[in-house]
Structures are given as structure tokens and as C-alpha cells.
Amino acid sequence: MSKPLTIAVFASGSGSNFQAIADAVKAGRLDVRIALLVCDKPQAAVVERAEKEGIPSFVFRPKQFASREEYESEIVHRLKEHNIDLLVLAGYMRLITDTLVRPYYGRMINIHPSLLPAFPGLNAIEQAYEHGAKVTGVTVHYVDGGMDTGPIIAQRALDIREGETLDTLTERIHRLEHELYPEVIQWIREDRVRLDGRRVQRS
């Protein structure tokens, strides 16, 4: 691929994964162009991060639309305006419908703070901690419209230490996310990831 991969990052909160991706681009570890931030919370800290990075944002309030499909139609319009190649979900706390999945299936990825299929959904780190799991980690997967059910691209594990607190585990999981996500995006940039049904092959 001669031109940089053009990505849109979707986020709803602080934007630490957004920042990790932006930092990887600036450091030369990730050869993509972040062309757009999509955010459903106007007051989210990630919006300010995008402004500081000089990255355009599409920020919306879901309640101003009649349905998920309506605001997702607007998102698709914005993605097409920016010629987006890859959608990168990074703490985007909205369920996604076919309006968005269908045109971008195989070109939309998400990061989840557990070793899927264990502990899908909200509060995954806390779920693993309270369950007494000995090992947890992070998963990068394609988005298929289900709750963290898409084909898995990569996983990275860590041991939950004896006496570990939820806060220290959360910090370690986030560090792992910030390492793995830019790495996987670069694999996609280098055309090293192949989706075949539910199987993902990496060269």
C-alpha cells in the first residue's frame, strides 16, 4: 500500500488508546494517518486530545437522533467524506448496528480488556478480578455487531498477581492495550492480516 492507511478512531471517554495510537504515529512506529475522531460525548477528554493533535472530530449527542441507525448513517457519511480505510474503536461505548457494520465489516476493529470470549461487555477488568481469574489480558478483534463477539485478531495475556488490587490490574491492562493496539494496526497497514470466516490469519 503506497499511501498511508487512513483511520478513524471512535472513543467515548478519556482517550488513552487514542493517544497511544497518535503517539505511535508521531514516533514512527505506526504508518497511518488519523483522519477523524468520532465521539458520542461532547465533554469527553478525548475531544480535547484530538484538538491538541490537530485531528478533526465528529462529535454528536445520540439523543438528538431518532435512532442508532440515524446517527450511524451520519457517521458513515462523515467516514466517506474523509476516505476512511479502517475504523478503530477505542473505548467507544455504543452498540453498533448493521448501518455501520455492513459497509465496514472486515475494516472495523475493537480492543477489549479481557481474553475473549471470557468477560465480554462492560467492566471486563473488574469481572475478571472479581471472578478470581489467574490470567487475563487484552483482545483485538473485528467488529461484527455483537457484544465483543467478532473474529479475534490478537490477544496478549498477563498474570493477575497475588495481592494485586483492581487499580494496579487496571493500570497494567491499559499499558498492555497501549502496546498491542498500535502494533495490530500496523499489521493491518502492512497487509499482514487475513480474515477467513471466524479465522484470522497473520503473516
Dump pLDDT digits (tens) for 191-201: 999 999 999 99
Report if residue 201 sits inside a domain: no
Q: What are the helix (H) ranges across the chain?
A: 16-26, 45-53, 68-81, 98-104, 124-131, 166-189
DSSP code for 4: P
Q: Identify the pLDDT of residue 3.
A: 74
Dump pLDDT digits (tens) for 41-62: 999 999 999 999 999 999 999 9
Beta carbons of 32 and 4 less than 8 angstroms apart: yes
Q: Identify the pLDDT of residue 178.
A: 98
Report if residue 169 sits inside a domain: yes
Its domain, for residue 62, covers 5-193
Report if residue 200 sits inside a domain: no
Report if residue 120 sits inside a domain: yes
Beta carbons of 119 and 143 less than 8 angstroms apart: no
Instruction: Give the Cα separation of 49 and 37 in Å (integer).
Output: 10
Q: How many domains does the chain have?
A: 1
Report if residue 202 sits inside a domain: no
Whether pLDDT at 32 is above 70:
yes
Dump pLDDT digits (tens) for 171-190: 999 999 999 999 999 999 99
User: What's this model's pTM, rounded to 2 decimal places?
Assistant: 0.95
Q: Identify the pLDDT of residue 2.
A: 57
Residue 170: all three cell numbers together:
487496571
Report if residue 203 sits inside a domain: no
Instruction: Give the Cα separation of 130 and 201 in Å (integer).
Output: 33
Instruction: Give the Cα separation of 173 and 83 in Å (integer).
Output: 32
- Residue 150 binned pLDDT confidence (cut-offs 50, 70, 90): very high
Whether pLDDT at 127 is above 80:
yes
CA 203 from centre of chain: 22
Report if residue 46 sits inside a domain: yes
Instruction: Give the Cα separation of 49 and 70 in Å (integer).
Output: 27
Report if residue 19 sits inside a domain: yes
- Tracing cell 472530530 back to the chain, one arrives at 57
Mean pLDDT score of the chain: 96
Instruction: Give the Cα separation of 50 and 19 in Å (integer).
Output: 8
Dump pLDDT digits (tens) for 78-115: 999 999 999 999 999 999 999 999 999 999 999 999 99
Q: Name the catalytic one among 77, 82, 112, 141.
A: 112
- Residue 1 binned pLDDT confidence (cut-offs 50, 70, 90): very low
Instruction: Give the Cα separation of 171 and 160 in Å (integer).
Output: 12
Dump pLDDT digits (tens) for 105-124: 999 999 999 999 999 999 99
User: Is 112 a residue of the active site?
Assistant: yes
- Of the candidates 23, 2, 60, the one whose C-alpha atom is nearest the C-alpha of residue 181 is 23
| CATH number of the domain enclosing 152 | 3.40.50.170
